[in-house]
Amino acid sequence: MLLIHCPYCEEARPEVEFVYGGEAHIARPLDPSTYSDEQWEEFLYIRSNPRGRHHERWRHSHGCGRFFNAVRDTVTDVFETTYKAGEAKVKELGK
């Protein structure tokens, strides 16, 4: 079982307490009515699906209940870091 560090609880907690929430940092359009069908499709369905570092959302649903962001390697399953929702994207390792 993985241990995931919750940035709100500030401790490592067992994986089964968490729910995966999809790719992070996807901004909802401010005015969706101006979007074409292609742009709307892009926003709704198209994801980066990388091999390697992936910014993603998780929710500590059986704990503090909060959504937060994580950087996880999709190959090794190693969590590089986790940070609170609303904080800036962690672009590179350690930055």
Stretch that binds another protein, among 1-9, 26-34, 38-46, 71-79 (CB under 8 A): 1-9
Is 73 a binding residue for another protein by CB under 8 A? The answer is no
Shortest distance, position 5 Cβ to another protein, whole Å: 13
The least distance separating another protein from the CB of residue 66, rounded to whole angstroms, comes to 6
DSSP the chain: --EEEETTTTEEEEGGG-EEEEES--PPPS-GGG--HHHHHHHHH-----SSEEEEEEE-TTTT--EEEEEEETTT--EEEEEETTSPP--STT-
| Chain contacts with another protein (rule: CB under 8 A) | 1, 8-10, 13-17, 62-66
